[in-house]
A = this chain, B = another copy of it.
Amino acid sequence: MGTNLQYPLNHIKFDGNGLLPAIIQNDQSKDVLMLAYMDAEALEKTIETGETWFWSRSRQTLWHKGETSGNVQRVIEMRYDCDGDALLVLVAPAGPACHTGESTCFFRLLE
């Protein structure tokens, strides 16, 4: 993808590390499932395949969500915010989003 981004992708701003935060939301329940990061390649693969891909900051590698667990996330809709520096991805998940087995990574109450 690199420098030849087409509209509206040319409105998307990656941060200094080349990453873009992506909020993943269940299209049916509207539960927020996770926050993960896409680099340009992950965004390209997400658009091409219709399933979510991310950049794993801990493993420093491209990551197809569900590639080991089978819990892929089918993309229903992608939105970007007014600043173009965050994505909202509505998905149909094949299973739990969280590696703990919880449906959402946000299963802990802060207060």
Q: Which residues from chain A sit less than 8 Å from chain B, CB to CB? A: 8-9, 11-12, 21, 23, 25, 30-32, 34-35, 47, 77-83, 86-88, 98-100, 102, 105-111
Given contacts A8-B110, A12-B110, A34-B81, 18 further A-B contacts (CB under 8 A): A8-B111, A11-B108, A21-B35, A23-B23, A23-B32, A25-B32, A30-B30, A32-B32, A78-B110, A78-B111, A79-B107, A79-B108, A80-B106, A80-B108, A81-B106, A82-B99, A82-B108, A86-B106
A9, A79, A87, most chain B CB atoms within 10 A = A79
Query: Known: A21-B21, A32-B23. Contact between A82 and B109, CB under 8 A?
Result: no
